[in-house]
Structure 1
Amino acid sequence: MSLAHAVLTSLIEKPSSGYELARRFDKSIGYFWHATHQQIYRELARMEEKGWIVSDSAPDAGATRKREYKVLLAGRAELVRWTREPAAPMDLRDEFIVKLRADAALDEVDLSAELRARMAQHTEKLAHYRAIEARDFSRGDAMSRAARLQHLILKKGILYEEGSIAWALEALKVLEGA
């Protein structure tokens, strides 16, 4: 996946200034596709050069250079084209797993503290995801198709965090000789 497709998706949802886009990105797509604000601004420039988006002075720009970005038909067509391509399966690349393998080979490393710290991070993120779910998806069947799809995306994050916590608990038992 390219950053351009994540940005196009976000701009189709709501035309935005670069700053607003970057902030919204951090709170939504950024949970599963990370990008810095600088990367987003560079991508906006490339997408505008390609004719996928256009920018105009934002209505609230005043004397600033604030621009509002909108998706053009060519950008929409690109996003449709991209969504029709098969997605590559996710590659699991986790440095901690390699450390655990090293621990198995060396039999002299104690990774319990690091594992507990990682478990705390997963627990915190799970609580955050559940708070979003309670706030945004409590209507059940009354949700639109778009809202149900967004809820499914959030549920994948919830299941990932729950699985990571369960795995960490099992790994702690092994590391601590229980």
Structure 2
Amino acid sequence: MSLPHAILTALLEKPSSGLELTRRFDKSIGYFWSATHQQIYRELGRLEREGAIRALPSQGATRGQKKEYEVLPAGRAELARWTAEPQDPKPLRDTLLLRLRAAAVVDAEGIQEELRRHLALHRRQLAEYEEIERRDFPPEKDAVEDRLRHVVLRAGIDLETFWTRWLTRAIEELGETTGAG
């Protein structure tokens, strides 16, 4: 049920068309909550039908023109309710970890290469997050909204740091025990 809340959050930050929203998802919220463009458009329609958002009145003819959406009071109230609601942590579900476990009972061929590939991906993501932090969060940004956004980014940085360290250790350990490399 989090996609509608992610959309409400993004629209409260800035009213947007569906296209603008999908682009913003790709550059910010999508780092920690992914959704396809089709899912976003489908959810926009549902939120509009439920009275949580509305399309802003457009200037002139509407044919072929992008609808821009804004959050209505009911949408803001739903987001506030959801934000305050307790939520238990979800168990980790990671395909790579499952594949490593499976490699213990079948052939582990190719697992080292896959670990190295994941390490490169996590290093790139970490570098991207660190660049965003340098660019968007100078020390003088101290508003509560900025600090909240920054702690979300720090979670991403910390997770990518964890994965790069863990993958490095796993590659070293498996290289020693399997002789693969």
2:176 match: secondary structure? coil
Deviations 1:125-174 (A, max 9, x none): 00100110010012x14421100110110000000000000000110111
Letter in 2 for 1:170: R
Deviations 1:44-100 (A, max 9, x none): 110010000110244598753311101000111111111121123132111211221
Aligned length: 177
1:131-146 superposed matches below 5 A: 131-138=131-138, 140-146=139-145
1:54-133 superposed matches below 5 A: 54-58=54-58, 64-106=64-106, 108-133=108-133
2:68 match: secondary structure? strand
Contact 1:9 1:79 in 2 (8 A): yes
Cα distance in 2 for partners of 1:78, 1:52 equals 8
- Residue number in structure 1 paired with 2:17: 17
2:104 match: secondary structure? helix
Cα distance in 2 for partners of 1:20, 1:116 equals 35
- Residue number in structure 1 paired with 2:49: 49
Letter in 1 for 2:151: L
Per the normalisation by structure 1, the TM-score is 0.92
Letter in 2 for 1:8: L
Structure 2: runs of 5 or more not aligned: none
1:51 match: secondary structure? coil
Contact 1:110 1:175 in 2 (8 A): no
Give aligned-pair identity as a percent.
Answer: 51
Runs of 4+ in 1 over 4 A off after TM superposition: 57-63
Cα distance in 2 for partners of 1:157, 1:59 equals 40
RMSD: 1.9
1:158 is the counterpart of 2:152: no
Cα distance in 2 for partners of 1:32, 1:14 equals 19
Per the normalisation by structure 2, the TM-score is 0.90
Structure 1: runs of 5 or more not aligned: none
Cα distance in 2 for partners of 1:36, 1:121 equals 21
Letter in 1 for 2:68: E
Cα distance in 1 for partners of 2:70, 2:148 equals 23
Cα distance in 2 for partners of 1:171, 1:134 equals 30
2:81 match: secondary structure? helix
Worse-superposed segment, 21-30 or 81-90: 81-90
